[in-house]
């Protein structure tokens, strides 16, 4: 632990936006300092990122039909559709349906491509042990009654990295697991983009 000369302790409160107050010794002072710092931070207008929702108030039900697959990856459109549906259910109060006729808005998507780039190689087997992925998705959210596009991105991109085994027998199973994980991570980023319209 770093020792400071008497009376020269760092001023943690200066990191917030409130007045200075000296740091006292003891666990009670540390807990009090953390509580006050959290209170000051909240009063400065800090908020949790990724929680905004800029969709129109008229939207209550969103239809998410199955995504299309323009890539060569087997079943990736199923993984992506399921992940996006789960993310909307988890993060919002919208009712999610598959039938467009029941919805206020329709979210349509297509997996354009999934690129896989070896990042690290095993020097013994010369097989990749870590790979980077680039998932490209075409996405749009349309008001079903007016036909107006609420959100559109023809080339949404998400990058990820995952480890792979050097055992060739485990390759297929690991690749499918990685596609599921990448789809879930892409869905989190994609839903944030739709809700916040960036």
CA-CA distance, 91 to 192, in Å (whole number)? 9
Strand runs labelled E in 51-168 = 61-63, 68-69, 95-97, 105-121, 128-143, 149-163
pLDDT tens digit string along 20-70?
434 444 444 443 434 434 433 433 332 333 456 789 999 999 999 999 999
Q: Which residue pairs, CB below 8 angstroms and at least 24 apart, start in 44-52?
A: 44/16, 44/17, 50/192, 50/196, 52/195, 52/196
Q: Please give the residue that has the higher pLDDT: either 122 or 98.
A: 98
Structural domain boundaries enclosing 187: 61-196
Residues 141 and 168 in one domain: yes
For the cut 70, the answer to whether the pLDDT of residue 120 exceeds it is: yes
Residues 91 and 139 in one domain: yes
If you search the block for the tokens 């992925």, which residue do you land on?
Answer: 133
Residues 39 and 69 in one domain: no
Q: Does the residue 53 lie in any domain?
A: no
Cα dihedral angle (65, 153, 50, 57), rounded to 10 degrees?
-60
pLDDT tens digit string along 3-19?
444 444 443 333 333 34
Three-state DSSP at 158 gives strand
Residues 25 and 95 in one domain: no
Residues 112 and 71 in one domain: yes
Residues 65 and 39 in one domain: no
For the cut 90, the answer to whether the pLDDT of residue 94 exceeds it is: yes
Residues 29 and 86 in one domain: no
If you search the block for the tokens 């809700």, which residue do you land on?
Answer: 195
């Amino acid at each position: 632990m770093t020792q400071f000369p008497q009376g020269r302790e760092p001023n943690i409160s200066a990191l917030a936006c409130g007045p200075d107050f000296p740091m006292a010794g003891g666990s009670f002072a540390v807990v009090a300092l953390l509580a006050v710092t959290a209170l000051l931070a909240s009063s400065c207008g800090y908020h949790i990122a990724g929680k905004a929702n800029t969709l129109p108030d008229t939207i209550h039900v969103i239809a998410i039909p199955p995504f299309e697959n323009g890539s060569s990856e087997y079943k990736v459109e199923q993984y992506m559709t399921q992940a996006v549906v789960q993310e909307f259910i988890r993060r919002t109060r919208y009712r999610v349906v598959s039938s467009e006729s029941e919805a206020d808005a329709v979210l349509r998507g297509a997996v354009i491509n999934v690129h896989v780039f070896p990042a690290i190689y095993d020097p013994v087997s010369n097989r990749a042990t870590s790979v980077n992925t680039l998932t490209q998705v075409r996405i749009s959210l349309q008001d079903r009654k007016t036909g107006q596009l609420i959100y559109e991105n023809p080339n949404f991109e998400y990058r990820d990295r995952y480890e792979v085994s050097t055992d060739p027998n485990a390759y297929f199973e690991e690749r499918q697991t990685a596609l599921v994980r990448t789809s879930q991570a892409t869905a989190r980023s994609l839903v944030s983009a739709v809700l916040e319209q960036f």
